Amino acid sequence: MNDVFWMMILVLAAFGVVGLCMAKKIRNGDSFYVMEEKAPTLFLVCGICMSYISAVTMNAAPGISYENGPFYLLNTAQPGAWFGTIVALLFIGRKMKAIGCYTIPDYFFKRFSDNNVLFLGILIMVMAIEIYGIGQLVTIGNILSSTCGISYGVIILTFTVAIMFFCVPGGTWGIMMTDTIMFAVVLVTALVVCPLVIHGIYPEALAHLPEGFMASPFVKGGEGIGSTLSNVVLWFMFFAGSPVIITRVFPAKNDFAVFKATVISVALLAVISAILYFTAGLMRGVEPNLPNADLVMMEAFLNHVPRYLGLIGIAGILTAAISTASVLFCLAGFSVSRDLYSLLNPGSQEKLNAVCRARVAQVFAVALGGLIAYFQPASSYDLSTFACGILASSWLPTILLSLLWKRFNSSAAFYGMSVGTCTMLVLQALVSFQNISLPSWLNQYILSVLASLATSVLISLLRPLKGEDARRHYQIRHAMLSDSVFTAVRRSGRALPALCREYQRTKRIMVGTLLVSIVLWICLCIVFYLLI
């Protein structure tokens, strides 16, 4: 048991206490699921960033940057993910919040009013989200078992219990509050610890990097422009269809907070990703023969900065995985306690014992994830991309078509989601177990999305348009989050001046963030060319 072990205990104890304290905020189902829609911009920014920054961002992606150069992901996958995040928050999330959704299956029911679609939506949600969460736990287990000398099983058990403390007592309150504190740790890791690592290794690392290592994939050629662009599209789909990102909008106190949080989050995520992947890429120059590239950031923090700073960096890696895992298990629990319950008990009082039921479902979702993670079914990166692939191939075409196209009906949604998921499962099995290779520009994820899209369009065109489907489509299309203005004005006589100030302040903050980003990125660009 070394200092990494005690740091882990400290992190878990601190966040566990915060999670427990949030239990007093829970008064009813609304407070458990969406914080009674009171989340300010700060909570949203931290929630969005910590949902985005996962074990993949802090381990697997730096590992890829270590092997292929920092720009391999920074010029392809990351911009795709940023644009996907914008679509998920500003287009899909806002629209779902405007019609009062608490979960994404909730949206399927409101749009299609069909139990088959709802059941399939819940099934996909629970399956994909659990797999994604298991991926986070596997990462934590692997990192700590290799550095602390504790067995993998004990670590998984410890973190499973700890995540229960984050999600079960306080629901979304607990998640948002712990995310806010965790984001401070990640921010220090990215903005202080990583630059110190770079400062420590810079001249030596640069001299020993392979030729062309720092070049953009667009310049390198290599796998070709088709493969590079497909990587952008793939990560766009992963994030645009990700329930983890979309549902961060639901607790927002108003529309203004959503806009401010989106712009600030995208700006922060771009800088954080760039610093992390540069650090990982430069590590190749000083430690060219790491046995496990995924542990490159651990190596950087343990061996290339003073010990106390390295421990903060490791805390950053752990909190990234814990926060994403806790959000994921929380969403799986919400789907079981709210959507599955209402599907199985259509006549019951949904609000009766809502909090108790939600907490039991949380315990079930976390325990199931912990149990499967104990057996370490696959690597974290494989599990995470597989889960994202399932969500992108089943949900994304259905959500986008249902929001944009009035002909899109419940049969098309059901068969589109089924075909997308089945295609993804079959192709993934063929690629993983039969060693079938697909061209990188047309991989299993893109093929599954295309299959889902084609099925949905075909069935929508073949089935006659029902009046009910069209009516629900128009209801959703015309529901706007700006209705909150009416609500606020009617509640208080002093609301109007406050809204006008908020409107102006939101515009100023968005434009200010853009200007700061432009200046910062130009400075980073100049520094890069001066040093490299």
Partner 1 sequence: MVVLTILAILAVGLATAVGIHVLRREYFPLLSELERNQGLEDALRELPLSGGQEEKEVEP
Q: How far is the CB of 91 from partner 1 (least distance, A)?
A: 8
Does 27 bind partner 1 (CB under 8 A)? Our answer is: no
Nearer to partner 1 by C-beta: 78 or 324? 78
Q: Is 378 left (phi over 0), alpha (psi -120 to 50) or beta?
A: beta
Which of 66, 82, 112, 374 is the binder for partner 1 (CB under 8 A)?
82
Choose the binding region for partner 1 from 202-210, 301-309, 436-444, 518-526 (rule: CB under 8 A): 518-526
Which of 86, 118, 286, 355 is the binder for partner 1 (CB under 8 A)?
86
Which of 131, 190, 240, 263 is the binder for partner 1 (CB under 8 A)?
263
Which of 306, 350, 377, 483 is the binder for partner 1 (CB under 8 A)?
483
Does 100 bind partner 1 (CB under 8 A)? Our answer is: yes
Which of 51, 75, 160, 385 is the binder for partner 1 (CB under 8 A)?
75
Which of 191, 442, 498, 525 is the binder for partner 1 (CB under 8 A)?
525
Q: How far is the CB of 521 from partner 1 (least distance, A)?
A: 4
Does 490 bind partner 1 (CB under 8 A)? Our answer is: yes
Choose the binding region for partner 1 from 118-126, 374-382, 433-441, 474-482 (rule: CB under 8 A): 474-482
Does 90 bind partner 1 (CB under 8 A)? Our answer is: yes
How far, in Å, are 68, 135, 293 from residue 386 at the CA level?
Answer: 22, 10, 20
Span 191-220, contacts to partner 1 by CB under 8 A: 216, 218
Which residues on adjacent β-strands are paired with residue 252?
A: 39
Amino acid identity of residue 93, one-letter, is G
Q: How far is the CB of 412 from partner 1 (least distance, A)?
A: 21
Count Cβ atoms within 10 A of the Cβ of residue 271 and give its class: 0-12 exposed, 13-18 middle, 19 or more buried: middle
CA distance 200 to 109: 55
Classify 252 as helix, strand or coil: strand
Q: Is 157 left (phi over 0), alpha (psi -120 to 50) or beta?
A: alpha
Does 99 bind partner 1 (CB under 8 A)? Our answer is: yes
Q: How far is the CB of 488 from partner 1 (least distance, A)?
A: 10
Q: List, in order, residues 6 or more apart from 219 with CB less than 8 Å away.
A: none
Which of 163, 198, 391, 485 is the binder for partner 1 (CB under 8 A)?
485
Q: List, in order, residues 6 or more apart from 270 with CB less than 8 Å away.
A: 78, 82, 517, 521
Q: How far is the CB of 94 from partner 1 (least distance, A)?
A: 8
Count of CB atoms situated within 10 Å of the CB of 227: 16
Which of 203, 346, 464, 493 is the binder for partner 1 (CB under 8 A)?
493
Choose the binding region for partner 1 from 151-159, 176-184, 309-317, 483-491 (rule: CB under 8 A): 483-491
Tokens linked to 231: 């990587």
From first CA to last CA, the distance across the chain in angstroms is: 40
Amino acid identity of residue 70, one-letter, is P
CA distance 92 to 19: 29
Count Cβ atoms within 10 A of the Cβ of residue 119 and give its class: 0-12 exposed, 13-18 middle, 19 or more buried: middle
Q: Which residue has the tokens 């009674």?
A: 36
* Residue 165 · residue 20 · CB < 8 Å: yes
Nearer to partner 1 by C-beta: 55 or 485? 485
* Total site size for partner 1, rule CB under 8 A: 57
Span 351-390, contacts to partner 1 by CB under 8 A: none
Choose the binding region for partner 1 from 141-149, 203-211, 372-380, 478-486 (rule: CB under 8 A): 478-486
Count of CB atoms situated within 10 Å of the CB of 253: 17
Which of 474, 494, 498, 505 is the binder for partner 1 (CB under 8 A)?
474
Compute the half-sphere exposure of residue 297: CA atoms within 13 Å on the CB side of its CA: 35
Does 511 bind partner 1 (CB under 8 A)? Our answer is: yes
Choose the binding region for partner 1 from 71-79, 126-134, 172-180, 439-447 (rule: CB under 8 A): 71-79
Amino acid identity of residue 117, one-letter, is V
Choose the binding region for partner 1 from 124-132, 149-157, 265-273, 287-295 (rule: CB under 8 A): 265-273
Q: Which helix (H) or strand (E) is 103 found in, with range? A: none
How far, in Å, are 59, 180, 363, 367 from residue 11 at the CA level?
Answer: 19, 14, 21, 20
Using CB under 8 A, list all residues that contact partner 1.
71, 74-75, 78-79, 82-83, 86, 90, 98-100, 216, 218, 255, 259, 262-263, 266-267, 270-271, 274, 471, 474-475, 478-487, 489-490, 493, 496, 499-500, 503, 506-507, 510-511, 513-514, 517-518, 521-522, 524-525, 528-529
